[in-house]
Amino acid sequence: MVNVRIEQGELMSALVTGNMARKMTRVGVVGGGQLAWMMTAAAKKLGLELRVQTPNSADPAVAIADETIFAPVTDPKGTQKLAAKSDVITFENEFLDLDTLSKLAEQGACFRPSLSSLSPLISKYDQRCFLRDRNLPTPDFCRLSEATEISFPCVLKTCRNGYDGYGTFIVKSQLELDQVLSKVPAIDLLLEAFIPFKRELAVMVARSLDGEVSLYPVVETQQVNAVCHRVIVPIELPVGLEQTIGAIARTIVESLQVVGIFGIEFFETLDGQVLVNEIAPRTHNSGHYTLDASITSQFEQQLRAVSGMPLGSSALNCGGAVMVNLLGFESATSDYGEVRSRLAKIPGATVHWYGKSEARSGRKLGHVTVCFDQADEAKARAMADTIERIWYGLD
């Protein structure tokens, strides 16, 4: 029998229903962006109702969710309203006030992943400590305020609320360090060793309420300025490396007793080892390819897990795929309809447009996935080049 740790909110919910294993049909999501938007099709497929909490009526999920609670994602009254209309609540991002949410859990709100499984991951410093304490491979680190010596180049990250390159700084000199410190207080910064890596890799891993774990294939992610541009699956890996990555991912979700799906990013070092870069306790950009290239998408898997269903198959439904993010490259109001039409005509391509009305540099406006009959990394890279030439107006 699997020993499942249950927070007070989950226990109270179980007592109310009289059956902890029943499927929870009303799922609340804190956040209304593209990740929540991409859950909606899976929710309909599974017969679930999806409710979102967001302050912005223009957010992608608002137009298609079953109901929206208009409130900031950190507003406890908004989340309380969401809880009253939901059997279970999950999260679109990790910018959470756990103290406030804990009070709602005490009142009976059910959160999955649980607040206890999220607690070590919200701060990037705490996340590094969590990995170190379990002897999982991670770059050397400390709080910048506690550093006795700094070697350049190094990496600085804000401990909280960094995403898509925001809050991450590759620092090559004392001058650059001084420039960062003029913007961000040292006490809020994590100092990491700069890792010369061969590739950046990632894996999605899900764990169900009864302890079932499902691993997706390891992917290569190609980043520019800490923003994901491309994802390629499957990829060739050194002997044993996929098993090592799988073991690390399994250790993370099992030690935290996760219910839900996590994205875990890695550095493949020049000597063929891996270091954990970051853990995203939610659906993740490196798993967007699963919408078209997997039997069960990461979004369906998340909903299956949090609603108490068995997990679906994480296997590919094709030989291979490449996913390319459509990033904003200008300040404009446009739906880029003509360009999207050109992308949609690529054989095997599916265009996912998030419905955002405003473009700005680096903003994720959509993505394109192209599926192939056979795995071919060279073909995938060439296709990514083609997509980016079309999108950025170079072709």
Residue 20 has pLDDT above 70, yes or no: no
pLDDT surpasses 60 at 171:
yes
pLDDT in tens, 77-98: 999 999 999 999 999 999 899 9
**What is the pLDDT, as a whole number, of residue 23?**
65
pLDDT, tens only, 105-136 = 999 999 999 999 999 999 999 999 999 999 99
Residues above pLDDT 70, as percent of the chain: 93
Q: What is the layout of strands, in order, in the sheet containing 154-158?
A: 141-143, 189-193, 154-158, 168-171
- Rounded distance between C-alpha atoms, residue 57 and residue 41, angstroms: 19
Domains of the chain: 8-118 (3.40.50.20), 140-193 (3.30.1490.20), 197-391 (3.30.470.20)
Q: What is the pTM of this model?
A: 0.92
pLDDT one-digit tens code per residue, 207-222: 999 999 999 999 999 9
User: Phi/psi class of residue 135: alpha, beta or left (left: φ > 0; alpha: ψ in -120 to 50)?
Assistant: left
Mean pLDDT of the chain: 93
Would you list the DSSP string of 339-387? HHHHHHTSTTEEEEE---SEE-TT-EEEEEEEEESS--HHHHHHHHHHH
Express each pLDDT in 278-298 by its tens digit: 999 999 999 999 999 999 999
